[in-house]
Chain A
């Protein structure tokens, strides 16, 4: 491997490690167990959403609805639990909400042929409106069943269960995307839809599946968010929109350059949460985070694009 290739493949990852060491050295309290566990908890929410967005991107589609769909799922769960529906049923309904939104996006993209940039934006707005409709603009807060809250707050030893769930979801997403026929079919669909179709791949099915996985990820995140906060509000996942996109795009600069990939998205989520957390601890103003996110999004795509360009010049 040439040095250039190493930088291209692992550069961002190494930068993440440098950032980690920097924060340990200079950000007060960053290295405390409580803070690190808090970072990992934030990473949990963000990375699950980013995995979903990653599948959509691998299939060459965008999903700009995942954050609002997540909020809608959360509100559905909160509503059902506060009307005394058994919490496992509420969870099923929350997941079903995410899946339904994903299926809707898939239908809009593959059957009605509305570009995903537009259709998922529409879905996002609808989901947002529905979330406000269900709550009447306020939040569901309650003293909910401890068994349910355990999902978001429980610990096994010192380790929050939410982190364990996230690692399991990460493993499933990683294996699905890189080690299964379904995963490479989604990839082939994204790389060259016509080639995939002519090779007998159900390309429409792959796009619907990828967008549905994104919806499912939104539903899953909603479960953990609601259980963690013991409340559900119509804009509770709003901040995850840009953060999730940034994590995934940052991930595209790692491991398989210029390609959305699950491992990259996970590390991307780690870096973004560390940065946000570190900035707060270092006393930076709140608006610095937004500026930083914007820069990360633009820079990641610029780097990925230059890798793509170089690959094209190699023709």
Chain B
């Protein structure tokens, strides 16, 4: 079943045509990678799926029903959680506050709904432990963390929404070997849990190893979609470098 379908999406930034009729079909429960050179329009497509930007033209369907995400809130409510390339953390706030931003846990005290900070710290530790067990103080501010550790915080924030669709825009870009492996494991475990994953990455080997299908974009248009036996690291590199739109067999 098609979980998400973006059809014929156009998006201009002033004179820049970032997307020129891009389509993307993501099946329920699959890991769908989106590849392409720098500036191909990957992040723009993701921002539209996340409600951060609105398309100039084109249709968005979730579970077969037409949707329009006017805000990030709308996308989150529809079950799509996104880790953006620029992370968008609040550096001067605590790790647990970043992880639970917008979805803070509360408890009832004398009839008032007050923040349950202890529980948020505890659960944050659980989320962070899946990705990076070197950080234990959830009160630490994010600006005291390394680039990779911040990425872990951003990923945890998306996990905490418990969304059906998790979108990751270059989640391993700042990561070392061990942390990268942990994120890849996490992507696999999301799939095992029945979630749909959209993954953007420039690491062809990782994409080939993880993805069920890959959509390659080129200068704001669809170039080709690969799956099955065609989906190899060599093939991916070949198409991205050559710009060919037909399959070589």
Residues of chain A touching chain B, judged by Cβ–Cβ distance below 8 Å, are 175, 179-181, 184-185, 187-188, 191-192, 194-202, 259, 311-312, 314-315
Between A and B, how many residue pairs show CB distances below 8 Å? Answer: 73
Please measure, in the bound complex, the distance between the C-alpha atom of A188 and the C-alpha atom of B100, giving whole angstroms: 11
Beta-carbon nearest neighbor of A194 in chain B: B88
Q: Which residues of B contact A181 (CB under 8 A)?
A: 104, 106, 113, 115
Whether A200 lies near B90 (C-beta < 8 A) is no
Whether B106 lies near A191 (C-beta < 8 A) is no
Beta-carbon nearest neighbor of B102 in chain A: A199
Whether A200 lies near B73 (C-beta < 8 A) is yes
Whether B89 lies near A179 (C-beta < 8 A) is no
Please measure, in the bound complex, the distance between the C-alpha atom of A185 and the C-alpha atom of B52, giving whole angstroms: 18
Whether B76 lies near A188 (C-beta < 8 A) is no
Interface residues of B in 91-134 (CB under 8 A from A): 91-93, 97-98, 101-104, 106, 112-115
5 further A-B pairs in the complex, CB-CB below 8 A; given A175-B112, A199-B157: A188-B101, A195-B101, A198-B50, A199-B103, A200-B76
Whether B88 lies near A179 (C-beta < 8 A) is no
Whether B143 lies near A314 (C-beta < 8 A) is yes
Whether B143 lies near A191 (C-beta < 8 A) is no
Q: How far is the CB of B121 from chain A (nearest CB, A)?
A: 14
Q: Which residues of A contact B21 (CB under 8 A)?
A: none
Interface size class of B (residues with CB under 8 A): 20 to 34
Knowing A181-B106, A181-B113, A184-B97, say if A311 contacts B76 (CB, 8 Å): no
| B245 interface residue (CB < 8 Å to A) | no
Q: How far is the CB of A57 from chain B (nearest CB, A)?
A: 14
Q: How far is the CB of B133 from chain A (nearest CB, A)?
A: 22
Beta-carbon nearest neighbor of B115 in chain A: A179
Knowing A181-B104, A185-B102, say if A191 contacts B90 (CB, 8 Å): yes
Q: Which residues of B contact A194 (CB under 8 A)?
A: 88
Please measure, in the bound complex, the distance between the C-alpha atom of A201 and the C-alpha atom of B90, giving whole angstroms: 13
Whether B101 lies near A196 (C-beta < 8 A) is yes
Q: Which residues of A contact B91 (CB under 8 A)?
A: 191-192
| B144 interface residue (CB < 8 Å to A) | yes
Please measure, in the bound complex, the distance between the C-alpha atom of A199 and the C-alpha atom of B113, giving whole angstroms: 20
Pick the most buried of B89, B104, B144: most chain A CB atoms within 10 A of its CB.
B104
Of B89, B103, B141, B143, which one neighbours A200 at CB under 8 angstroms? B103
Whether B52 lies near A191 (C-beta < 8 A) is no
| B20 interface residue (CB < 8 Å to A) | no
Whether A202 lies near B73 (C-beta < 8 A) is yes
Q: How far is the CB of A77 from chain B (nearest CB, A)?
A: 30
Q: Which residues of A contact B50 (CB under 8 A)?
A: 198
Of B72, B92, B114, B141, which one neighbours A198 at CB under 8 angstroms? B72
Whether B115 lies near A180 (C-beta < 8 A) is yes
Residues of chain B touching chain A, judged by Cβ–Cβ distance below 8 Å, are 50, 52, 71-73, 76-77, 82, 84, 88-93, 97-98, 101-104, 106, 112-115, 141, 143-144, 157
Whether B90 lies near A184 (C-beta < 8 A) is no
Whether B72 lies near A200 (C-beta < 8 A) is yes
Please measure, in the bound complex, the distance between the C-alpha atom of A184 and the C-alpha atom of B3, giving whole angstroms: 34
Whether A198 lies near B52 (C-beta < 8 A) is yes
Q: Which residues of A contact B141 (CB under 8 A)?
A: 311
Q: Which residues of A contact B88 (CB under 8 A)?
A: 192, 194-195, 198-199
Whether B90 lies near A188 (C-beta < 8 A) is yes
Q: Which residues of B contact A200 (CB under 8 A)?
A: 72-73, 76-77, 102-103
A-B contact pairs, 7 of them (CB 8 A): A181-B113, A188-B101, A195-B88, A195-B98, A200-B76, A202-B73, A315-B143
Of B72, B93, B103, B143, which one neighbours A312 at CB under 8 angstroms? B143
Please measure, in the bound complex, the distance between the C-alpha atom of A192 and the C-alpha atom of B101, giving whole angstroms: 11
Please measure, in the bound complex, the distance between the C-alpha atom of A179 and the C-alpha atom of B106, giving whole angstroms: 9
Knowing A192-B88, A195-B101, A200-B103, say if A187 contacts B52 (CB, 8 Å): no
Please measure, in the bound complex, the distance between the C-alpha atom of A185 and the C-alpha atom of B157, giving whole angstroms: 15
Beta-carbon nearest neighbor of B88 in chain A: A195
What are the 9 A-B residue pairs with the smallest beta carbon separation, nearest first?
A199-B102, A195-B88, A191-B90, A200-B102, A192-B90, A199-B101, A200-B73, A179-B114, A198-B72
Whether A192 lies near B102 (C-beta < 8 A) is no
Please measure, in the bound complex, the distance between the C-alpha atom of A199 and the C-alpha atom of B73, giving whole angstroms: 7
Please measure, in the bound complex, the distance between the C-alpha atom of A65 and the C-alpha atom of B33, giving whole angstroms: 52
Q: Which residues of B contact A195 (CB under 8 A)?
A: 88-90, 98, 101
Please measure, in the bound complex, the distance between the C-alpha atom of A195 and the C-alpha atom of B89, giving whole angstroms: 6
Please measure, in the bound complex, the distance between the C-alpha atom of A314 and the C-alpha atom of B52, giving whole angstroms: 31
